[in-house]
Amino acid sequence: MKIQLFADSACDLHASYFSQEELELIPLKVHIKGNEYEDLIGIDAKELYKEIRSGEVPKTSQASPVLLEEKFTQLAESGKSGIYIAFSSELSGTYQTAVMIRDQVKETLPTLDLTIIDSKCASLGYGLVVKEALKAINSNLPKEEIVELAKEHANSMEHLFTVEDLDYLAKGGRVSKASAFVGGLLNIKPLLHVEDGKLIPLEKLRGKKKLLARILDLMEERGSNLDQQTIGISHGDNEELAQEMKTLIQERFQTTEFEINMIGSAVGSHSGPGTLAIFFLNKR
């Protein structure tokens, strides 16, 4: 019997991918203009960015405990084994809630066999880890190997990203307001990365050209076999910038495999429009 894989919507994979593959979606929640929506299902990211640009400030919340209980109960009753790869615990409470709900369900249904992994990843970096795990499941690898492979992939995933306006991250408590203030000055472009699941400001560069060149330099410094990887590029409703970055990566590293997706509503509520994020495996 195949292992059931779960992922939440912060992985920024297309909704169609969840329906095509044996992958259970756990949506995070987005709150805007007095309404609550399920990310990826009930709200279109492009519309969300339009609302943010008009001055709306969306908020997000973790996955529904009721939904988690329902899905974990169904898993136990099916007799299948499961793996849930979760959004970074440093950016959402979903991982901690999932562990709590799993333990509660296990009290009444002790046959529940579910491993929950804190990916410490976000957006398409998280999505690439999910896709690698699904590939391993479809290759019928033992569960222990799939779990180790997913953890190794997550630990090796680099995140480099820039935002159009650091105020979006500051409003959501993801970076300090002081960092946001400096970022807004003099065409300064912030470069951030993820360290142990947290968003960490890395450098500030003046102008887009210097910023993109620095991203390429850091990819070369940190990456391994970039011509043989699938490079992830996610963007906050800025397809043109994502394609420009793809071309630069192709020219520099001869990479042929890319996954380019728009950042979904849950992550995009905090990163804002115009964000550009690059994901690749490091040399660890």
Do 45 and 264 meet the contact criterion of CB atoms below 8 Å apart?
Answer: yes
Q: Where in the chain is the domain with CATH 3.40.50.10440?
A: 4-28+63-155
What CATH number labels 4-28+63-155?
3.40.50.10440
pLDDT at 99: 98
pLDDT at 236: 97
pLDDT at 179: 52
Give 3-state DSSP helix, strand, coil % of the chain, rounded to 5. Answer: 45, 25, 30
pLDDT at 26: 97
**Domain topology for 157-281:** Hypothetical Protein Tm841; Chain: A;domain 3 (3.30.1180)
pLDDT at 183: 46
pLDDT at 178: 44
pLDDT at 171: 58
- As given in the structure block, the two tokens for residue 106 are 């296990």
Report, as ranges of residue numbers, the positions in the chain whose pLDDT lies below 70.
166, 168-187, 284
Q: Where are the beta strands (DSSP E) in the chain?
A: 4-8, 23-26, 29-32, 35-38, 59-61, 81-86, 113-118, 157-162, 188-195, 198-206, 230-235, 257-262, 276-281
pTM reported for the whole predicted model? 0.93
pLDDT at 78: 95
pLDDT tens digits, one per residue of 31-85: 999 999 999 999 999 999 999 999 999 999 999 999 999 999 999 999 999 999 9
Q: Where in the chain is the domain with CATH 3.30.1180.10?
A: 157-281
pLDDT at 284: 65
- As given in the structure block, the two tokens for residue 141 are 């690898």
pLDDT at 195: 93
